[in-house]
Amino acid sequence: MNGSISQAKVFISYSWTTPQHEQWVLDLAERLSGDGIIVTLDKWDLKEGQDKHAFMEQMVHDESIAKVLVICDGGYQIKADDRKGGVGTETQLISKEVYENTAQEKFVPIVRQYGEDGKPCIPHFMASRIYIDLSSEDTFEENYQKLVRNLYGKPLLKRPPLGMPPAY
């Protein structure tokens, strides 16, 4: 992506489901950073002595954060739907924003896992949102590029310029 593009700023919301999942999220954050995206991540930006609930609320309402990437796995889905733990707190903040602003593009579900029923593990409050699927190694690169293009506002397919009406 050549040319002058302003840097995107994102917050990653996820569940501490397993150490492997936490590492996957950290790897994603590092890769996004390598692609020039400013990533706010609890592991980097939430320090001892800070209030985690205030931190989450600030991230959801911060106008300088263009997108909130919601990493959806089974653990996130359960905690969000049951409103438990830190994910439950974030869900209360995020879902209010999602429901109050139907044109909202700030919250992007990132599917990391599918359930036994073959459906993506997405919380109920985001179930109707179009998501980016990063669950499979086979399609990861293609969908990762889709994510980066989304964050920079540079979609692969663009509306063509409107031509002139025919002269009758």
Q: How confident is the model at residue 87 (pLDDT cuts 50, 70, 90)?
A: low
In a 10 Å sphere around its CB, with 0-12 CB exposed, 13-18 middle and 19+ buried, how is residue 34 labelled?
exposed
Q: If you average pLDDT over residues 54-73, what whole number do you get?
A: 85
Q: According to the model, what pLDDT value does residue 4 have?
A: 45
pLDDT per residue as tens digits for the range 33-61: 999 999 999 999 888 888 877 887 787 77
Measure the CA–CA gap between 123 and 113, rounded to whole angstroms: 12
Q: According to the model, what pLDDT value does residue 76 have?
A: 85
Q: According to the model, what pLDDT value does residue 30 have?
A: 97
Q: If you average pLDDT over residues 15-34, what whole number do you get?
A: 95
Give pTM, 2 decimals: 0.81
pLDDT per residue as tens digits for the range 120-148: 999 988 888 899 999 999 999 999 999 99
- List for the chain the helix, strand, coil content (%; round to 5): 40, 15, 45
pLDDT at position 159 over 80: yes
pLDDT at position 21 over 60: yes
pLDDT per residue as tens digits for the range 88-126: 556 555 655 555 554 568 889 999 999 999 999 999 888
Helices and strands: H and E segment counts in the chain: 6, 5
